[in-house]
Amino acid sequence: MVDEKKIRTLFNEGSFEFLIMNEIQRAKIVYRILNKTYPKITVPLKSRNVFTLLISVLLSAQCTDVNVNNVTKNIYPRYYKPKHFVKLGRKKIEKLIKKIGIFRIKAKSIYNLSKILIEKYNHQVPKTFDELENLPGVGHKTASVVMSQGFGFPAFPIDTHIHRLAQRWGLTNGKNVIQTEKDLKRLFPKKHWNKLHLQIIYYGREYCKARDCYGISCKICTTCYPNRKKPLITKKA
């Protein structure tokens, strides 16, 4: 296990004399390129408050952020509190989000978690991973996004895209998303996690696409692996 204080020192001083030198060096390359490419970053999902952020992240499963934003822009001006969605009921929620994938399942989760927030949390979104992950339709990734983007708590949400890029860049062995999260948290100082998560997402969409770079053409891939000639086959999440 790498000591976080040691990693911070390596980042600040540019020293790579460490047991996992190659990983640290590649992490530093990734960090530099991402910060140069995206010095300022915005949250891709539009929301009105922490509750609507939670709803948007839940809706984004198997759906693009653009599609979610296109749907929620017509919802959040009127409905933005748990009591609003409970009053709507499942069927009306379904109608509001019918353009989003698996909308019936998501509508059920939205209705049920809204009831729980009212009954158990005084209409508020809880601020712990355990409480969030116990809500209907909320997994670890969704909870991580809410904790980081909603409450500013250091977290490193891992989706299929970040899982793929971390493998291409030699930052994880790609065993599973749990391991990828552990590896990225181990390689980068905690203070950078929230911003890096978003920077990686944007970079993957623009430069290191799933069906484009294949680990051999974008700046990060070619800098981390200048001798890589064949497309890298990554493990799925």
Cα–Cα distance measured from residue 90 to residue 3, given in angstroms and rounded to the nearest whole number:
48
Q: Give one DSSP letter per residue of 8-29, joined into a string.
A: HHHHHHT---STTHHHHHHHHH
Residues 6+ apart with CB under 8 A from 136: 108, 109, 112, 113, 116
Nearest to 125 by CA among 85, 173, 96, 72: 85
Per this entry, what is the length of the chain?
A: 237
A 10 A CB-CB count for 45 gives: 18
b/e code 155-174 from CB counts within 10 Å (16+ = b): bbbbbebbbbbbbbbbbbeb
Annotated active-site positions, please? 141, 159
